Amino acid sequence: MSHIDNIFIQVRARLQADKVKLWEEPYYSEELGSIEAAMENLALNYAQKMGHIDSSHLKCVLTELQDNALRKLASRREFTETGMATFKLRRIDNLGGTTTMLDIKCDLNALGLQLQEIIARKLQLSNANYVKCISGGRIVASNVTLAAQQLRNNQQLMVIVGQQSGSDNQNGAALYERIQKIKEDVAAMVSSQNRMMEMEDQDGNPVFLPPAENRALLIGLGYCEKARSAMRREDYEESLLLLLEADEQFANCNSKFLESVDNYALLNLDIVWCYLCLKNVSQLPDAERRLNICERSFRCSYGENFNRLYALKGRSCPERALIMRLQLLQGVVFFHQNRRDEAYERFESAGRMLSELKVNEDQLMMLVEMGFDMGESRLALRSCSGVGNVERAVQFIQERRQQLRDARKQSKAERELQRQHYKKDAKDSDWVNPRSVCTLIEMGFPRRLATEALKRTKNDVPKAVELLQSHSGELERAVLSDNSQNLSADSVHLAALQQLGFEEATSRVALESAKNNVEQAIEFLLKAFQSEEELKSMVKRVTQLAKGDIAQLDGPSTSHQVPPQGPLIHAVLSKAKTEMEAYKAYKRFNSDLSQSDQDYLDLPLNQEEQLLAEYRKLLEQ
C-alpha cells in the first residue's frame, strides 16, 4: 500500500465527518465545473488541520475524489434513464494486485454470462468462461441474473482471469481448466463407494453428519485443501476462487454447526488473507463480515479471551498463529476504515504474539535433519516454547503421532457402523449417528434396538434411552417385522455374480442385504474392494466376459458356462470404472497436498511480519 493511498483514506474520512460534498457548490457548479479556488482553500484548510500532509498532495486527492463522485452521479442518471448499470471493474493478479481499472455497463436483468462476455471483449479474451467476477464475497453465477444476485449500479467488481496482460490466453485457460478438474475430482472422491474422504477432528476422532450436509461439507473441505496448497505456491487467484466455491458448499450446512467448528472460521480467515495478498480492498465490507464470523467461531471453540484453549493446551499452543493472523487482518480492516486507534491496538497485540511464536531456526533445522517434517517440527517448537530444547519437541511429535494412531483405532467401530447404515440415496431423516449407536451399545442395549430408537428420536440419545427403557417391546416388534422382510439370495443372481468373479459368500450377503436388487448388490461388492488393483482385475475379467472370451478367464471353467447377460455386465463395468476414476481423482487430488494433519496451523509468519511492519509504518505517517 502506498503513501498516497494512506492519504486517500484519511481525507475521505475527514470529508465524511465534515459532511463536505465535493460535487456541490461551493466546490462544483454545473455551469462552471470544478471551482479551483474553493478546492485550493479546502486543501490548505485540511493541510493545517492534518498537519503532516502537504497541501499539493491534498489538492490532488480532493480533485480525484471529486471526479469519482461526479462519475457516480452521471452513472446514476444514466441508470435512471436507460436502466444500464455501471460497474467499476478491478482486475487483479498475483504479481501486481490491481492491474486494470475500467467501467463496464450492463443491464441488471442480464445473466452473469452476459456480463462475463462484455468483460471478455473489453479485456480481449477469447473465452468468457475465463472471467470470474467477485461481488460481495461471492462468485457471480453465469446462469442467474445480476439483479437476482443483488448486484447494484456503481458497484465495484473484482475480476480474476488468471493471465497476464499481453498473454495468449493460455494462462486463463489453464486456471479455468484446473479449477474445473479440481471440482470434478473432489465430486468423484466424495461420491465414491470406497469413502475416499471422511471427516475427523484435530485429534483423529470421526465427525458424523446427515448425508446431505456431510456431502456438502466434504466437497467444501476438499476445495479448502486445494486452496491451501495454492496459497503455499502463493497462487492467491486460484486459492480465492476455490475458497469462494467452498463457501457456497458450506452454505448448505447448519449455520450453528459451522460457527462451532474451526473449519468455517479458517475458510473466512483464508478468504480475507487472499484479499490482502491480492492487494484488493474493494471487498472491505465482506472482509469485515468474514473476520467477525471467524472471531465468533474462535471464541465459541476457544472460549472468551481464548481461556478454554489456553487451559487445555497452554499459552504456547500453535493455534495462536491463527489468532495472530486474525488480529493482524482486523488491524488492516480498521486501518482502511480510518479507525486508526483500533488498528494500532490490533497491530500491537499481533506484534506481541508474533514475537512469541518465532522459533529458533537452528533448533528447527536440527529437527528436520533428524527426519521430522518441517511443519510438524515448527509446530512442536512453538508448542514447547519456554522449555527451549529439542528433546522436548521430539517427545511432543511422538506423543502427537501416538495420539492420532489411538484415536483412529478407537474410531474404527464407529466408522464401520456408519458404513452399515449409509445408503447412497438415504434421506437425512433416515440417518443414524453411529457414535450414538456405540454409546447405547456400551450402555447395554442391543444394536438393532438402539438403531431403531435413534431413528425415531432423530439421534437424540437421552430420548432414545427413555424410549428403550419404556417401549422396548414395541421396538423389538418393529425390528422383528423388518427382519421378516429379508429374503434369501436368488440362486440365478447368485450364479451370475459368481460368474462375474465375485466370491459366493460375499455375493450371498450382498444380495440378501440388497433384497435381491442386483445393482445394489454390485455396489455393495465393489465397495468391499480394498485397492485399485482389485478393481482393475475385476474390470479386466468382466471385459473379457463381454467379449465372450470365457476361455481366457482365470480360475476353473466348465464347458457349460454361460456368460451373464449384457445389462448386468454393463452395470458392473460402469460402476467399477466410476470407482477407478475416483481412485485416479484421489491420486491427482493428493499430488500436491501436505501430509500433515495440522498443516492449517503451520504458518511460517514471514508474510505476516512484513505486513505488520508495513502497516505500522503507515500509521506513523
Cα separation, 349 vs 342, whole angstroms: 11
Looking at residues 241-260, what average pLDDT do you find?
86
Cα separation, 475 vs 456, whole angstroms: 10
Is the pLDDT score of 182 beyond 60?
A: yes
Cα separation, 438 vs 451, whole angstroms: 10
Is the pLDDT score of 621 beyond 90?
A: no
Q: Is 97 left (phi over 0), alpha (psi -120 to 50) or beta?
A: left
Q: Which of 445-449, 484-488, 582-586 has the lowest mean pLDDT?
A: 484-488
Distance of CA 205 to the CA centre of its chain: 20
Q: Residue 566 class from Cβ within 10 Å (0-12 exposed, 13-18 middle, 19+ buried)?
A: exposed
Q: Are 329 and 274 in contact (CB under 8 A)?
A: no
Q: How far is CA 26 from CA 36, 40, 218, 261, in A?
A: 10, 12, 59, 55
The beta-carbon contacts of 36-41 under 8 Å, at least 24 apart in sequence, are 39/63, 39/66
What is the pLDDT at residue 426?
A: 45
What is the pLDDT at residue 171?
A: 57
Q: How far is CA 320 from CA 313, 329, 384, 612, in A?
A: 11, 14, 13, 16
Angle, vertex CA 71, rays to CA 66 and CA 76, nearest 5 = 125
Predicted TM-score (pTM) of the model is: 0.79
Cα separation, 96 vs 108, whole angstroms: 30
**DSSP single-letter state for residue 163:** S
What is the pLDDT at residue 387?
A: 57
Is the pLDDT score of 48 beyond 60?
A: yes
Cα separation, 212 vs 226, whole angstroms: 22
Looking at residues 22-50, what average pLDDT do you find?
93
Looking at residues 130-149, what average pLDDT do you find?
94
CATH class of 412-484: mainly alpha
Residues with Cβ < 8 Å from 558, sequence gap 6 or more? none
Q: In terms of Cα–Cα distance, which of 617, 608, 614, 1 is closest to 325?
A: 608
What is the pLDDT at residue 454?
A: 86
Q: Is 25 left (phi over 0), alpha (psi -120 to 50) or beta?
A: beta
Going by pLDDT thresholds of 50, 70 and 90, the confidence category of residue 560 is: very low
Sign of CA dihedral 217, 219, 225, 229: negative
What is the pLDDT at residue 559?
A: 36
Cα separation, 76 vs 98, whole angstroms: 25
Q: Which residues in 569-598 are b (16+ Cβ under 10 Å) and which e?
A: bebbbebbeebeebbebbeebeeeebeebe
* 83-168: in CATH 3.40.640.10: no
The residues spanned by each domain of the chain are 3-78, 83-168, 412-484
Give the position of cell 478546492. 39
Give the position of cell 495468449. 168
The three cell numbers locating residue 269 = 480467515
493 SS3 class: helix
Cα separation, 616 vs 611, whole angstroms: 8
Looking at residues 569-596, what average pLDDT do you find?
83
What is the pLDDT at residue 236?
A: 93
